[in-house]
Structure 1
């Protein structure tokens, strides 16, 4: 955890602050956050007191404004995740989505501030869309301003996050002496000496049942923390868990959920019990029933990590968000746990699912941040991997 003396970082497109939280845990000192979303900015301020937030369109933000607000004459790291949702594998891809080009302002501010390194996180779809043309465009833009780049495709679960979240990371530097490498995974195949992935049970097993009381804001924990992940989650947390609220399923979802066991989705429901529109989904062109899987109405398994937490985690019809034991969607706190936010981290304002679903998992940010910290200090002595995409 940073004591304020670590390398400085500016968090562009900071959202609710998951990237800053992880980098702070890694020893970096956040100086400024930038985001247009007022609700996310309020959450950032609440959890990062003393770090100013520029709350306006990134196109209007200048490097001088950032330096003046930060009270420094240089920045060690610029980090951020400019939205490229038009390339997301969740939902319809839209090549001309204007959000795809927010990275140009990221590049512009890197050029204006000239940090020693940058870190950019984004959806994995940009890696392969149009045979990688968009990725090459990003690399060329940084090369034009004098920054070498490297990229890696990572899975958050491989770094201790209880979620199978696939992302692409770009790093870059204008310093010819700094290596551009990524940290090796810490979790995965135990036969290779790695720790096992953190499971749903290990992530949320100490949280209480909701039952029919969906709106109670504060609840007693079900058990003492069990295992290192729950200990991490509850470090410096209040005595009662917050934001552990839910809502009842729709009548249709309730009927379907009765047939769905852990690790199963819509395909587990007998055809006779499916609404007509789902019966049509179950058949392929020759009229036979489909046998592949789907994550629609999927119930999480306690023995595996969660799937990607999106902004729609309150809607079980949209993805794998059925609670493993109760017939309900996951709560805000459970979603935050799957993203690796500590329980002390509070989300304020409205649009909480969007704040959580759009965040960078702090433990992924910490793993990458610890590695970048070593590179900046000149301590990069470990065996590392380069491209893993």
Structure 2
């Protein structure tokens, strides 16, 4: 990092650009990206118009190609989240899922480009799979190319994201003067007065208009002025109206269930006699009573708590905790983006919005680790200057 200049980053598996947005907010300049999803790449280019992006298979991308795109051979950071969906706790775990080994191309490109640091974000399930064998494989791969590594489990809500999204972060460096560290938590539960309180569902989306019976209007006036710092953050630089705030009515079955589900409740709140046949085989407790926990199917979000993990299925209330807190519908694209901490000026283009949003790194999580990386790079630079 040259004196007075911004650190540079290449975003592998950049998707719609959530991590790049967070790094940009932290003062790091994305200078190139890679992703195979044409819709996500279109969104990335729309929101980061000055960053060249390779649309294609990372296995066919070379370090030389990325450095030429970036216009520099001095890269401070390679960042990204190679898919390890076979280790996700949301769905079927498959150790041999070929997506689990995309990290090898991440390692290859780190070796070819030789950045000062790397940041790799992933699902926390791969941390414990096979008693940590996959984690050790990743650490060994980076060690072999000369990078010290460390890892941490993080909760996005701990950094101001209104979402209980658990992830694992790997960071590494080849620079002796860099002391690896992770950002301290800034937010916490009510019994942690030294921290800011978690950002809740109501704080995240309370200024967005209700839909009533009008599900298809793409742009709507805001319901009110920003009511809290999170809404101010989301609306800074935003259009005058809310975009991508569309929905659809629930199916007849989903509506019949939603009628019984209150805020913070899910399928287990529905009386047995009102359940479809396939849901009546629900586990009971020792007294024979129906369990009311252990599921987030058809769960209605609680206004006073953060949302659960936003997945690619957030438009399907049967798949998880995606019922709107006040209306009988799934959350909208803009509401999902709010729960991910995307500012309202961030526009999603093309198609497959749920995949683009659900697969993204929450920008405020990216910002938190980005600020820590800037601090590490700066401290190392000062040590080298003193030594010289």
Alpha-carbon distance in structure 1 between the residues aligned to 2:150 and 2:241: 43
- Is 1:55 aligned with 2:64? no
Residue 172 of structure 2 corresponds to 172
Deviation at 1:287, TM superposition (A): 6.9
- Asked if the contact 2:323–2:331 (Cα under 8 Å) also holds between the matched residues in 1, the reply is yes
Residue by residue, what CA displacement relative to the aligned partner does 1:291-313 show, whole Å, maximum 9, x if unpaired? 43310000000000000000000
Residue 308 of structure 1 corresponds to 309
Residue 239 of structure 2 corresponds to 238
Structure 2: runs of 5 or more not aligned: 383-388
CA RMSD of aligned residues (A): 1.6
Alpha-carbon distance in structure 1 between the residues aligned to 2:204 and 2:30: 27
- Asked if the contact 2:119–2:169 (Cα under 8 Å) also holds between the matched residues in 1, the reply is yes
Deviation at 1:282, TM superposition (A): 4.1
Residue by residue, what CA displacement relative to the aligned partner does 1:50-96 show, whole Å, maximum 9, x if unpaired? 10000110000000000111110221000000000000000111111
Residue 206 of structure 2 corresponds to 205
- Asked if the contact 1:266–1:298 (Cα under 8 Å) also holds between the matched residues in 2, the reply is yes
Alpha-carbon distance in structure 1 between the residues aligned to 2:293 and 2:365: 31
Deviation at 1:286, TM superposition (A): 10
Work out the number of aligned pairs and report it.
378
Residue 367 of structure 1 corresponds to 368
Q: After superposition, where does 1:44-123 map in structure 2 within 5 Å?
A: 44-123=44-123
Q: After superposition, where does 1:278-297 map in structure 2 within 5 Å?
A: 278-283=279-284, 289-297=290-298
Residue by residue, what CA displacement relative to the aligned partner does 1:6-57 show, whole Å, maximum 9, x if unpaired? 1000000000000000000000010001000000000000000110000110
- Asked if the contact 2:177–2:380 (Cα under 8 Å) also holds between the matched residues in 1, the reply is no
Deviation at 1:206, TM superposition (A): 0.1
- Asked if the contact 1:265–1:293 (Cα under 8 Å) also holds between the matched residues in 2, the reply is no
- Asked if the contact 1:336–1:356 (Cα under 8 Å) also holds between the matched residues in 2, the reply is yes
Alpha-carbon distance in structure 1 between the residues aligned to 2:194 and 2:287: 47
Residue 222 of structure 1 corresponds to 223
Deviation at 1:176, TM superposition (A): 1.4
Residue 384 of structure 1 corresponds to none
Q: Could you state the TM-score of these two structures normalised by the residue count of structure 1?
A: 0.95
Alpha-carbon distance in structure 2 between the residues aligned to 1:243 and 1:262: 24
The alignment partner of 1:280 has SS state of coil
Alpha-carbon distance in structure 1 between the residues aligned to 2:293 and 2:200: 24
1:136–1:241 Cα change, 3 Å: same
- Asked if the contact 1:5–1:29 (Cα under 8 Å) also holds between the matched residues in 2, the reply is no
Structure 1: runs of 5 or more not aligned: 382-389
